[in-house]
């Protein structure tokens, strides 16, 4: 595990995007797993800029979303695919057929998850898997209790995840309660994992994560056993202190 501390989100975005661009320059048909969430927005913004500046083409790149809510169609404002289109895909030259995301309104969600798992097995592993972290330590939508050998599947979302991801909705029963997520074993099969944890509101979980050994109670801890895992954070003081 490597920890990279930066003093600002801008610096983080610069670092992470350079890594993606370098990867494409070395291997134009790279495979990426992309996370959604507020944390990644400045990163995708910078990636669009840098791709333009460096004239890097995403034509051969294959991209997988980590997850999608059940009951949410790809054109809904809550869709993670729509998020990726708005923040990245629509501004780069990636081919539509190389963009993958589970269909949240498939007739049979279990079958859809199985298809996604097969697709990941066929195309994967990722050259770079970009992750964030949930307040309870979830990665993608692998909530606490997820087995380390889990694969893409339908999962129940915890109340804390639903509350955090839909702060504007007061009634919990109006938020999606399930999702299709890539599993922990598919994340761990990635050649390289970059996890970004930024902002004051992530201090508690960052601290817990750094102080906890591998446990399914805090799914992100599994990443510590990956041979090529980097934690990228702007929590300089905290991380320095904890590492001392």
Task: Indicate if 143 belongs to the active site.
Answer: yes
Q: Which residues in the 161-180 window bind ligand GLP by CB under 6 A?
A: 161, 165
Annotated active-site residue 142? The verdict is no
Cα angle value 193/102/59 (rounded, 5°): 65
Determine the distance from the C-alpha atom of residue 154 to the mean position of all C-alpha atoms in its chain, rounded to a whole number: 17
Measured at CB, which residue is nearest to ligand GLP?
A: 37
Q: Tokens at residue 188, please?
A: 């761990």
140 belongs to the binding site for ligand GLP (CB under 6 A):
yes
Nearer to ligand GLP, 17 or 56 (CB): 17
Question: Catalytic residue among 68, 112, 138, 234, which?
Answer: 138
Residue 48 CA to residue 93 CA, distance in Å, equals 10
The DSSP bridge pattern shows strands 153-156 and 178-181 to be antiparallel
List the one residue from 42, 102, 132, 176 that touches ligand GLP (CB under 6 A): 132
Judged by CB under 6 A, the stretch of 11-19, 37-45, 117-125, 230-238 that binds ligand GLP is 37-45
Shorter beta-carbon distance to ligand GLP: residue 19 or 54: 19
Could you say which DSSP state residue 157 is in? P
Please, what sign has the CA dihedral across residues 64, 57, 128, 204? negative
From the list 182, 190, 200, 174, the residue with the least C-alpha distance to 226 is 190
Q: Does 39 bind ligand GLP (CB under 6 A)?
A: yes
133 contributes a contact to ligand GLP by CB under 6 A: yes
Using the structure block, give the residue that is written with the tokens 């087995």.
Answer: 147
Q: Which residues are catalytic?
A: 67, 136, 138, 143
What residues line the site for ligand GLP (CB under 6 A)?
35-39, 66-67, 132-134, 140-141, 161, 165
């Amino acid at each position: 595990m490597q920890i990279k501390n930066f003093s600002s989100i801008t610096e983080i975005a610069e670092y992470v995007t350079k890594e993606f661009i370098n990867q494409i320059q070395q291997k134009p048909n790279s495979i990426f797993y992309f996370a959604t969430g507020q944390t990644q927005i400045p990163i995708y913004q910078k990636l669009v800029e840098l791709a333009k500046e460096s004239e890097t083409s995403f034509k051969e790149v294959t991209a997988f979303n980590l997850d999608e809510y059940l009951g949410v169609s790809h054109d809904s404002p809550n869709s993670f695919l729509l998020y990726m289109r708005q923040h990245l895909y629509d501004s780069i030259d990636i081919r539509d057929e190389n963009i993958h995301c589970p269909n949240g309104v498939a007739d049979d969600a279990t079958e859809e998850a199985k298809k996604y798992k097969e697709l990941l097995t066929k195309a994967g592993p990722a050259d770079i898997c970009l992750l964030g972290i949930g307040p309870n330590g979830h990665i993608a939508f692998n909530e606490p209790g997820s087995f380390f050998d889990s694969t893409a599947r339908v999962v129940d979302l915890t109340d804390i995840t639903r509350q955090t991801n839909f702060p504007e909705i007061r009634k919990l029963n109006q938020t999606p309660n399930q999702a299709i997520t890539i599993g922990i074993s598919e994340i761990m099969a990635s050649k390289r994992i970059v996890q970004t944890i930024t902002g004051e509101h992530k201090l508690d979980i960052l601290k817990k994560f750094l102080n906890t050994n591998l446990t399914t109670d805090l799914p992100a801890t599994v990443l510590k056993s990956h041979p090529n895992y980097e934690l990228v954070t702007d929590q300089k003081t905290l991380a320095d202190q904890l590492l001392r």
